[in-house]
Amino acid sequence: MSFITLRMGWRNLGRNMKRTLLAIGAIALGQLTLIVVNSLMEGFFQDILETVTGPLVGHIQIQDPLWHDERAADLYIDHLAETRKAIEGLKETVRVSPRIVTFALVASGEKSESPAEAEAGMIAGLDIDAETKRGGLLEGVPPEEWPAKGEVIIGTVLANRLNLKEKQLIAVISTDVDGFPVSELFTVKTIVDSNVELIKTLGVVMPIEEAGELLMMPDQVHELAVYGYDFMKADSLKEAITHIPALKDASIKTWREAIPEIVMVINVKKWFDILFLSIVFIAAAAGIANTAMMSTFERKHEFGLLLAMGARPARLVNMVIFESVILGLIGIAVGTFIGVAISTILSYTGFNYGFLGGSGADTSITYKEISFSLVIYPRLKLQHVVYGLVAVTLTSILASLWPALIAARLEPVEAMHRT
């Protein structure tokens, strides 16, 4: 393509500035919508995935097959020490979090004139060291706040309900693994505001050894949450764990299997991406085709003159296509600039979509005992820009082919005569 052809194409864009600007605006709007919405969706779904595979579910869940439906204390995984060692020995494993979980009655253990009102609570016997690491149930709790023997961590909601403060006593009444009553007094070491709803509202967290002693489960747990290097590779981790003989009768589930509803929602995102890309594609195609078509018909006389002067039809085709591609690229550049700017700002400020649904000041919702944030922090990926760029460039070429071919097939005399 010669320089003159390019120059002519470029200058033609300025002939009808309003139309050109409208076309650029439409393409830019499509691109910025694509970038902002896709980065918001990416942030939203990444947050869901990290929440799901984080504290509560882990990458792999190992439980008694009946635990999910019955949650009875005697549905446990036996031989904890041996099993844990075997899982930790796998090359795919990063961390194993054993958990004892059973419901209890809890009340203030402080002496008072009238009996304390008991509330429903949940004993969570945890490996405190493992759970305070990134993605654990107690992520971020510093070592000086870890419970020692005779101490517990409780959630903020439970603490408020029982009117308990740190260093005060809490009475825990439950039944052991065989269903016989047990009771104990503990000192509240720390009160935590966990993003795991169960911990926040019901949790009475104690070291797993202490829970095992209280509930007569010295080498048993109700659940093992296993973490690998990448939650997207949970299937290979599961495959490796399945071969451990001690777990032959256990239920071993990846996070996808443990919460299939979430996976279904995530799958919807893929279709959402395609839908948005299609909208941008159609909007760009319509805008560019319209501009190119109008421009071609307006310049029939000029095209006829060029052909009469010896210009080859291919040159006209190149010129029309070039105009369209330039139009599309300018639109993409403008849209990308604005879209990236909006996404970047939102990635710092966050976007609370709870307001859209009328949730007021709430910043999280709880589903299946997991607290999901209502504040989205967009995650911009290069592919969000590239998708639009490729789609609009292809669209520009395809949409301008028809008017370009019309221009190329003009009879010079007839074109000049009719004009």
> What are the residues binding another protein (CB under 8 A)?
74, 103, 105, 107, 109, 114-120, 171, 173, 175, 178-181, 183-185
Residue 157 Cβ, how far from another protein at the closest point, in Å?
15
Q: Considering beta carbons, is residue 169 or 416 the nearer one to another protein?
A: 169
Nearer to another protein, 107 or 206 (CB): 107
- The alpha carbon of 2 is separated from its chain's Cα centroid by a whole number of angstroms, namely 48
For residue 259, the minimal CB distance to another protein (Å) is: 26
In this complex, which beta carbon is closest to another protein, that of residue 118 or of residue 398?
Answer: 118
Q: At what angle do helices 382-408 and 260-298 cross, to 10 degrees?
A: 30
Measured from the CB atom, the residue of 114 and 309 that comes closer to another protein is 114
- Least separation in angstroms between residue 281's CB and another protein is 53
Instruction: Yes or no: say if 377 and 346 are a contact pair by the CB < 8 Å rule.
Output: yes
Shortest reach from residue 173's CB to another protein, in Å? 6
64 or 323: whose CB is closer to another protein?
A: 64
Closest CA to 378 of 76, 95, 45: 45
The helix (H) or strand (E) run that includes residue 120 is: strand 119-126
Of 216 and 394, CB closest to another protein: 216
Q: How far is the CB of 36 from another protein (least distance, A)?
A: 45
Residue with tokens 């589930």: 253
Nearer to another protein, 183 or 242 (CB): 183
Which residues are CB-contacts of 410 (< 8 A; sequence separation ≥ 6)?
300, 303, 304, 307
Contact 226, 241 (CB under 8 A): yes
Burial class, 307, CB count within 10 angstroms (exposed 0-12 / middle 13-18 / buried 19+) = buried
Pick 107 or 138: Cβ nearer another protein = 107
Could you tell me the smallest distance in angstroms from the CB atom of residue 114 to another protein?
8
Q: What angle do CA 21, 304, 20 make, to 5 degrees?
A: 0
| Residue 62 bridge partners (DSSP) | 224, 252
Q: Minimum distance from CB of 197 to another protein (Å)?
A: 17
Note whether 235 and 254 are within 8 A (CB).
yes
User: Please, what is the minimum distance in Å from the beta carbon of residue 103 to another protein?
Assistant: 8
**Among residues 404, 130, 207, which one has the least CA distance to residue 289?**
404
Three-class SS of 177-238: CCCCEEEEEEEEEEEECCCEHHHHHCEEEEEHHHHHHHCCCCCCECEEEEEECCHHHHHHHH
